[in-house]
Amino acid sequence: MKKQKEKKMVSSRSKSKGPARPAEETHDLLTDPSHFQRLAAATEVPGGKKDNLGDRIRRARELRGLTFSDLSSRTGISVEKLERIESNELVPPLGELIKLGKAVEMRMGYFISPGVDKPMAVVRSDCRPAISRYGKGRSEQYGYFYESLAPEKANRFMEPFLITMVPTDVQDLSTHDGQEFIFVLEGEMKAQVGDQVEVLRAGDAVYYDSNCPHLVKCAGDKPTKILAVLYTGSK
């Protein structure tokens, strides 16, 4: 009798959990949404108003005459999530920014940092916007640091970054549209694309299609510095 009661209790608890949540989308160091928090932060626009990532997405959507439902059907992103994105409550991951850019016929770089429409944009070594993956404390042990190398160039096809990675236990592979090029400046890096795994050292480079499951991370227990260029496939 006691065992039967225990079984009933376990059964009732399992039923109360409700429907299983869908697995969260995984991201590699170039697709994690957290590093866009500062790149996508408010910028000054004519008239002294602040222009956020959500504002830029809303403006592009309205320019194309699209409703939330239209944009949702084109991207697969729920209407509720689109509303939160445009109200600046949520920063979408890079994969979704790529989809949004294609849906409204805008380059993904416009959403991250619109830049200025000029033939050349220079970023001095002491003026590179730096983004920390986990904040100053945790990033020293678990995360990585980004320095954007072209935030002021409008209509850019590529997103170049100088990235310092530190050792991490992350093993999840990610996929998204486009291609990536990485040149190792210091340290050692593990690159996995599909079933192929390579260890790259200073002076080595790798180029791969991002729609193949991939992962890049430190190889060993020391930080690694890389030059990474991301092409989203937007035209």
Q: Is the pLDDT of residue 106 over 70?
A: yes
Per-residue pLDDT band at 81 (split at 50, 70, 90): very high
Residues recorded for the chain: 235
Task: Report the CATH number at residue 225.
Answer: 2.60.120.10
Q: Count of CB atoms within 10 A of residue 62's CB?
A: 12
The answer to whether residues 134 and 222 belong to one domain is yes
Residue 99 falls inside a structural domain: yes
Give the DSSP H or E segment for 205: strand 205-209
Domain end residue (candidates: 61, 82, 112): 112
Token digits of residue 134: 């986990």
Q: Which of 112, 143, 164 is the last residue of a domain?
A: 112
Shared domain check, 139 and 67: no
What is the reported pLDDT for 145?
63
What tokens were used for 51?
């222009």
Q: Are residues 223 and 166 in the same domain?
A: yes
Domain co-membership, 134 together with 89 = no
- Whether residue 118 lies inside any domain: the answer is no
- What pLDDT is stored for residue 53 in this prediction? 82
Say yes or no: 92 and 47 in one domain. Answer: yes
Is 13 among the domain residues?
no
Question: Quick one: 167 and 211 in the same domain?
Answer: yes
Tally of domains in the chain = 2
Whether residue 57 sits in one domain with residue 87: yes
10, part of any domain = no
- Residue 153 gets which letter from DSSP? B
CA-wise closest residue to 231 among 122, 153, 158: 158
Question: Are 146 and 196 part of one and the same domain?
Answer: yes
Q: Flag the least confident range among 13-27, 44-58, 82-96, 134-148.
A: 13-27
202 in the same domain as 135? yes
* Domain presence at residue 209: yes
**Do both 137 and 227 map to the same domain?**
yes
Sheet with strand 214-218: strands edge to edge: 196-201, 188-193, 214-218
Distance CA 97, CA 100 (A): 5
Q: Kind and range of the H or E element at 196?
A: strand 196-201
Q: CATH number of the domain that 41 lies in?
A: 1.10.260.40
- Single residue among 112, 140, 160 that ends a domain in this structure: 112
Q: Is residue 18, in this structure, part of any structural domain at all?
A: no
pTM over 0.85: no
Domain assignment present for residue 24? The answer is: no
Q: Which letter, b or e, does each residue of 79-91 get, where b requires 16 or more Cβ atoms within 10 Å of its Cβ? A: eebbeebbebebb
According to the model, what pLDDT value does residue 74 have? 93
Residues 151-164 have pLDDT tens digits of 777 777 888 888 88
Its domain, for residue 75, covers 33-112
Contact present, 180 and 153 (Cβ < 8 Å): no
Range in 38-42, 94-98, 180-184 with the lowest mean pLDDT: 38-42
DSSP 57-113: HHHHHHHTT--HHHHHHHH---HHHHHHHHTTS-PPPHHHHHHHHHHTT--HHHHH-
Residue 98 and residue 151 in one domain: no
Q: Are residues 187 and 135 in the same domain?
A: yes
- Asked if residue 38 is part of any domain, the answer here is yes
Written as six digits, the tokens of 107 are: 């380059």
Cα–Cα distance for residue pair 112/158, rounded to 1 Å: 12
